[in-house]
Copies of this chain bind each other. A is one copy, B any other.
Amino acid sequence: MSKTALPGLSLCNNATLRRAARKLGRFYDDVLSPSGLKGTQYGLLYQIHVGSEPAMGTIAEEMVMDLSALGHTLKPLIRDGYVETFTDKDDRRVKRVRLTPQGQTKLEETTQLWSTAQQRFEALVGKEQAATLRVALDEIAALDFELGFEMPTAAARSD
């Protein structure tokens, strides 16, 4: 009788997910702010760090992100000297990415803050719940939405 009387957005999986992402994103950004990095940037640095000088396409795939979007997102990090790119030796189309020494340092420094955010969040929702949620979210990120009537790699088209 006081608040949510109407369906609101809570029925739309997409809207609900985005809303939570906005909220959590603000929280992480807030906690990370002393480092000067946004949550997204921290995640990107980390992903680069755990890879072996990954190619941009590889990173984009791992992060379930559009390649061009990755390129754009990378720019401020390159500009600020945390990341550098270089052309692959065997395939000049491929551009690989690595952290600079400052990028390494910044990543380590920011990881402290990240831990704080992570812990504070998990203290609120519970470690179990957080883990469960991450699994569910990873499942979504891995879903295959293709309908199928897109021609299964040529073939078919029988009679």
Question: Do A39 and B63 contact each other (CB < 8 Å), given the known contacts A23-B140, A133-B136?
Answer: no
Dominant secondary structure at the A interface: helix
Which residues of chain A from 103 to 130 have a CB within 8 Å of any chain B CB? 114, 117-118, 120-122, 124-125, 129-130
Question: Do A17 and B13 contact each other (CB < 8 Å), given the known contacts A47-B8, A120-B145, A140-B125?
Answer: no
* Total identical chains: 2
Residue of B21, B46, B122, B139 touching A9 (CB-CB under 8 A): B46
Name A residues whose Cβ lies closer than 8 Å to a Cβ of B. Answer: 6-25, 27-28, 30, 39-40, 43, 46-47, 50-51, 62-65, 114, 117-118, 120-122, 124-125, 129-130, 132-134, 136-141, 143, 145
